[in-house]
Structure 1
Amino acid sequence: MENKEEHLKQIDVLAIAKEMKKHKKQYLIALPVTFVLSCLLILCVPRYYTSTAKLAPEISSFSSSSLGDIASSFGFDIGGNSANGDAIFPELYPELIESNDFMVGMFDVKVKSKDGSINTTYYDYLANHHKYPWWMTGIQTVRKWFAEPDTTVVKSKKANPFLLTKQQDEIVKLMMDNIKCNIDKKNYVISISVEDQDPLICATLADTVQAKLQDFITDYRTKKAKKDLEYYKKLSSDAKSKYERIRQQYGSYSDANQDVVLESYRLKANDMENEMQLLYNTYTSLQAQVQQAQAKLLMQTPAFTTLQSASVPLKPAGPKRMLFVLGMTVLVFLIISIYSTRKIIFGEME
């Protein structure tokens, strides 16, 4: 029984091979044509590079009693500290980077290509120097023919995130596709990846996005502390001016009435001395508040450890040209094989 089944399988394989051999001409025509067309097609797609930077919050102490406060000072909320809740959690950093405000802030970043032929802003680079496949260029040209004219009124050369022009909106969408931010929810490692057609511009953008994200988080975390510090500094400066003014008045009054023994003069001198002492106490108290505000500002300033710095990639990340050509060739081979042996394959299935 087993010999009969093996014999049937051999017959089936031989039948399939014979059927495929009958369509040898189709293979000889289709496979070389597919290979050539795949090569021509994939060669039109510009190569791109990827550069990645990784950051982590710098936490030196893991005491259970102060872990919530420490994590909060670095922009993280791990619970147990509702009084100092943070509105921007690490999970929101990708949305932050994809916002119009953040992307528009990248327009004026200076970029330079590796060969030195391009030296301009990132916006101008994407608008005038970014390469597209020929079919994408054709589609964009046709879309421009039928597109309605842009009626957005531009009052300033500086881009307005609230009111973007059509071209600016397209550039922002392209930037969103090129710049990605991922957060590891287990250890809150921040990964910033930038994709671009030039390796040097790719690394430059990754480093710039990293710096801008750090600056934004730092400004957000320290905004209130900075306002408090400025407020106490102003109060301290005003108190110091008042103290110095009354001190000069008291000194001048004492010098002018040093030999006077009238009680009214002595009482006025005592009143001025008491007022001077009160102003001095106020000034010293405000100085202590200034020092506390400086300490609070330092405590709430987030620190980051760079786990992986952005570097210029040596090899392109894509497209995988050999794999694409091989895949298309194998796909056509399978299609022809299934088509040529369909009667045998589907006949046996029935």
Structure 2
Amino acid sequence: MAEESKIQKKEVKEIDLTVLFQKLYAHRKKLYKAAGIGLLAGLVIGFSLPKTYQVDVSLSPESGMNGTSGLSGIASMFGLGNGSSGFGEDALTFNMFPEIVKTNPFALEMLQIPIQTQKEKQILLYDYLDTEKRPWWSYIAQAPGMILSLFKEKEADTVRTIDPFHLTPAQTGHIERLKKVLKVETDKKTNMTKVSVSLQDPLAAAVVADSAVHKLQEYITDYRTRKAKQDYDFQLSLCEQYKKEYFEAQQAYARFADANRNVILQTVTTEKERLQKNLSLAEQIYSQSMGQLQVLRGKVQEAKPVFAVVEPATVPLAPSSPRKMMIMVGFAILALLLESVWILFGEDTCRQLKRTLKKED
């Protein structure tokens, strides 16, 4: 009995599938029409999207960076550090690069860099973002806001008038737009960092990617060497002071010795010995301070992180998006699925609802 029930269930399933396929086959013209509409919609959307070029730069920091305390300081500066999280400094090293790029100070610095494009000789990145094309439906979505902006006073919208403490809506929009086209990803396993830039101008994309890498290196180098530079500058000022005191003691001893060359008096001898001791002490202090200055100079150099650029920025020859064929195929498949669901279930459900409403009336 159990085996017969299993056979009957299998037959029911096979019959149900056969009925479904037969139903779809009977409405194959509708499916062809839906696929055609999907291809047409994908074609329109694919050609409406502007071409973008992507540039990827891969870099790897030296292994010595993982054991330094400067990186955890950078992470804490951007709100990433958490002593109770259980992650070591290696995790902070890998995670900090994408977060730094997302901060407003880094974005504001990037927006002020001059870039080269194929059409313009030189233009600021802030102004270039306004020249990029957008699909036609974005203008329809922004039409109400554009109409309202006509009745408002126009605010200054230049990179030279940016106040980081009080950003205008236009400036905030530029920052958000930059964060979308500039992305950084890190791989904890390979210790590799990839900087990606997607823009509509291939030359501009390569310039921005290269500038972002250098700016990121400068950002990290400046923070890691800041304390060492402060110590070095303080020691340098001390050296200048000790040097001045040493030269003054040297001049005082020389003048006194020249003025009392043939004088044999105990007071003269005592004063000469005192000046000579002061000169020796000043020379010793100046020599020791110069030694400490050389040590601090080595610490500044040691604190600088070293990055190996594995894959440098190059001008792309072909656009990375949009992939028109993939968009067309995707819309055609989506249209087929929607039409199939409607044929198999939608029509019957609508009929049942109509019958129910007629009976209630």
* The one of 15, 21, 32 aligned to 2:36: 32
Cα distance change of structure 1 residues 183 and 149 upon mapping to structure 2, 3 Å threshold: farther
Measure how far apart 1:29 and its partner are. Answer: 3.8
Q: Does 1:93 align with 2:97?
A: yes
Structure 2: stretches of 5+ with no match in the other structure: 74-82, 84-88, 350-361
Deviations 1:317-338 (A, max 9, x none): 2222111111211222233334
1:138 is aligned to 140
SS in 1 for 2:330: helix
Shift in Å at residue 130 of structure 1? 1.1
Alpha carbons of structure 1 residues 245 and 136: separation in structure 2 relative to 1, 3 Å: same
- Counterparts in 2 of 1:190 and 1:28: CA distance versus 1, 3 Å: closer
Letter in 1 for 2:249: I
Alignment partner of 2:128: what SS?
helix
Displacement after TM superposition at 1:192 (Å): 1.3
Q: Is the 8 A contact 1:52 1:206 kept in 2?
A: yes
Contact 2:225–2:303 under 8 Å retained in 1:
yes
RMSD, matched Cα: 3.3
1:268 to 252, 267, 271: 271
Measured in 1, the distance between the counterparts of 2:102 and 2:172 equals 12
DSSP-derived class of the 1:205 partner = helix
TM-score scaled by length of structure 1: 0.82
Deviations 1:119-177 (A, max 9, x none): 311100102x1111101022223223246947978999342222211111000001111
| Alignment partner of 1:287 out of 273, 285, 290 | 290
Q: Aligned letter for 1:317?
A: S
Contact 1:75 1:302 in 2 (8 A): no
Please give the alpha-carbon distance, in whole angstroms, between the structure 1 residues aligned to 2:313 and 2:158. Answer: 37
8 A Cα contact 2:126 2:159, kept in partner: no
Give the Cα separation in 2 of the matches to 1:30 and 1:89: 51
Gaps of 5+ in 1: 60-66, 80-84
Could you tell me which amino acid in structure 1 is paired with residue 253 of structure 2? Y
Give the whole-Å Cα distance in 1 for the aligned partners of 2:222 and 2:346: 71
Structure 1 distance, partners of 2:238, 2:167, is: 42
Residue 244 (1) aligns with residue 240 (2): no
- Please name the residue that 2:170 is paired with: 167
Identity score, percent: 26
- Farther-moved stretch of structure 1 (278-287 vs 143-152): 143-152
- Does structure 1 retain, via aligned residues, the 8 Å contact 2:57–2:209? yes
Seen in structure 2, the aligned counterparts of structure 1 residues 243 and 326 have a Cα distance that, compared at 3 Å, is: same
Contact 1:73 1:301 in 2 (8 A): no
Counterpart of 2:68 (choices 66, 69, 72) is 72
Tell me the equivalent position of 1:208.
211
The partner residue of 1:182 within 181, 185, 202 is 185
**Structure 2 residue identity aligned to 1:45:** L
Residues 36 and 301 of structure 1, relative CA distance in 2, 3 Å threshold: same
Instruction: Output the amino acid matched with 1:315.
Output: A
Deviates more, 1:88-97 or 1:255-264: 88-97
Per-residue CA shift, 1:63-94, capped at 9, x if unaligned?
xxxx7x873178479x9xxxxx89x7442222
Instruction: Work out the CA distance in 2 between the residues paired with 1:343 and 1:144.
Output: 40
Report the CA distance between 1:14 and its aligned residue: 6.4
Using a 3 Å threshold, how does the CA distance of structure 1 residues 153 and 178 change in structure 2: closer, same or farther?
closer
Distance between the aligned counterparts of 2:209 and 2:161, measured in 1?
A: 23
Q: 1:57 aligns with which of 40, 56, 61?
A: 61
Q: Give the TM-score taking structure 2 as reference length.
A: 0.80
Q: Secondary structure at the match of 2:111?
A: coil
Give 1:292 deviation, angstroms: 0.9
Residue in 1 that maps onto 2:80: none
1:107 maps to what in 2? 111
Residue 324 (structure 1) aligned to one of 324, 327, 335: 327
Cα 1:156/1:325, change in 2 over 3 Å:
closer
**What amino acid sits opposite 2:101 in the alignment?**
I
Instruction: Provide the residue aligned with 2:342 in structure 1.
Output: 339
Instruction: State the one-letter code of the partner of 1:144.
Output: M
> 1:48, 1:197 within 8 Å by CA — same for their partners in 2?
yes
Q: In the aligned structure 1, how far is the partner of 2:187 from the partner of 2:203? A: 27
**CA shift at 1:218, angstroms?**
0.6
User: Corresponding residue for 1:300?
Assistant: 303
Q: Which moved more, 1:198-207 or 1:185-194?
A: 185-194
State how far apart, in whole Å, the 2-side matches of 1:185 and 1:6 are: 50
Q: How many residues align?
A: 329
Structure 1 distance, partners of 2:158, 2:27, is: 68
CA distance 1:343–1:38, shift in 2 (3 Å): closer
